Chain A
Amino acid sequence: MSATDPAAASRRSSPARIWGFVVELWDVLRRPSSVFGLGVLVLAGFVAGVVFWGGFNTALELTPTEKFCTGCHEMRDNVFSELKTTIHFSNRSGVRASCPDCHVPHDWTDKIARKMQASKEVWGHLFGTINTREKFVDRRLELALHEWARFKANDSLECRNCHSAESMDITRQSPRASVAHQRFLFTNEKTCIDCHKGIAHHLPDMRGVPGWQ
Chain B
Amino acid sequence: MIGKPWLLALAIISATASTSLVAQTVSSGLRGSTPLNEEGPAAPMTPMRNTIEKEVRNYPEQPPVIPHAIEGYQIDINGNKCLSCHARARTGESQAPMVSITHFMDRDGQFLASVSPRRFFCTECHVPQNVVKPPVDNDFVDIDTMLGRATPGGRR
Residues of A in contact with B (beta carbons under 8 Å apart): 86-87, 174-176, 179-180, 195, 198-199, 202-206, 209, 211-213
8 shortest interchain CB distances as A-B pairs: A206-B79, A213-B83, A174-B50, A175-B52, A203-B79, A205-B78, A213-B87, A203-B78
Q: Are B80 and A213 in contact, with the CB atoms below 8 A?
A: yes
A199 to B73 alpha-carbon distance, docked (Å): 8
A205 to B79 alpha-carbon distance, docked (Å): 6
> When A and B form their complex, what is the total count of cross-chain residue pairs whose Cβ atoms lie within 8 Å?
49
Contact with A87, one of B51, B68, B72, B79 (Cβ below 8 angstroms): B72
A212 to B84 alpha-carbon distance, docked (Å): 5
Taking chain A's interface residues, is the majority helix, strand, or loop, or is none over half, making it mixed? loop
Q: Are B78 and A176 in contact, with the CB atoms below 8 A?
A: no
Contact with A174, one of B51, B78, B90 (Cβ below 8 angstroms): B51
In the complex, 22 of the A-B residue pairs with CB atoms within 8 angstroms, ordered by the A residue number, are A86-B72, A174-B50, A174-B68, A175-B51, A176-B52, A180-B94, A198-B79, A199-B72, A202-B74, A202-B78, A203-B74, A203-B78, A203-B79, A205-B78, A206-B78, A206-B79, A211-B90, A212-B79, A212-B83, A213-B79, A213-B80, A213-B87
Interface assignment of B123: CB less than 8 Å from any CB of chain A: no
- Which residues from B are CB-within-8-Å of A211? 84, 90
Which of the listed residues A176, A203, A204 has the most CB atoms from chain B within 10 Å of its own CB?
A176
Residues of B in contact with A (beta carbons under 8 Å apart): 50-52, 68-69, 71-72, 74, 77-81, 83-84, 87, 90, 94-95, 114-115
Q: A203-B79, A205-B79, A213-B80 are in contact. Are A198 and B74 (CB under 8 A)?
A: yes
- Which residues from A are CB-within-8-Å of B79? 198, 203, 205-206, 209, 212-213
What's the minimum C-beta distance from A192 to chain B, rounded to whole angstroms?
14
